Amino acid sequence: MARLPRLVLPGCGHLVVQRGHDGRSVFADDEDRSVFLAALREAAAAQRVAIHAYALPDTEVQILATPPAEDALGRMMQSLGRRYVAAYRQRHGGRGTLWDGRYRCAPVEPGDWLLAALRLVDAAAPCSSAAHRTG
């Protein structure tokens, strides 16, 4: 059975969650998080996706983003995954994917729902974008 396409609404915020395979850690330390954030910046810039918030707990990634086109979010996540997994495997060894299947995403209505999603992401981990916004 073919995969169902994701609902992606250009110009609308989306909550994206990518979990580690079998609940395993995808970040060993802060250096891994730095590499991931560099890859996120590059992939988002290439697809012109606005990143509003992120959280990097040990076992998953949470991102609040607004794609400009229907395919931009998927292309960003694909590029991000390829670059980060290659860097992670080069540093730590091992084989295969880090991720537990496909990433999950859901459009978030503007206004109060978007603000609630922003709070949710910021509260998800000590390593989040909250410090960047709050100074």
Give tens-digit pLDDT for 13-45: 999 999 999 888 999 999 999 999 999 999 999
User: What's the sign of the alpha-carbon dihedral 87, 89, 95, 98?
Assistant: negative
Residue 134: pLDDT over 70? no
pLDDT of residue 133: 61
C-alpha span between 102 and 23 (Å, rounded)? 14
Mean pLDDT of 70-81: 94
How many angstroms separate the CA atoms of 77 and 47, rounded? 10
Structure tokens at 24: 């395993």
Q: 126 or 66: whose pLDDT is higher?
A: 66
Domain limits, the chain = 13-134
Indicate yes or no: pTM above 0.75.
yes
Give helix 30-47 / helix 72-92 axis angle, nearest 10°. Answer: 150
Task: Supply 67's token pair.
Answer: 């794609």
- Per the prediction, the chain carries an average pLDDT of 89
CATH 3.30.70.1290 fits 13-134, yes or no: yes
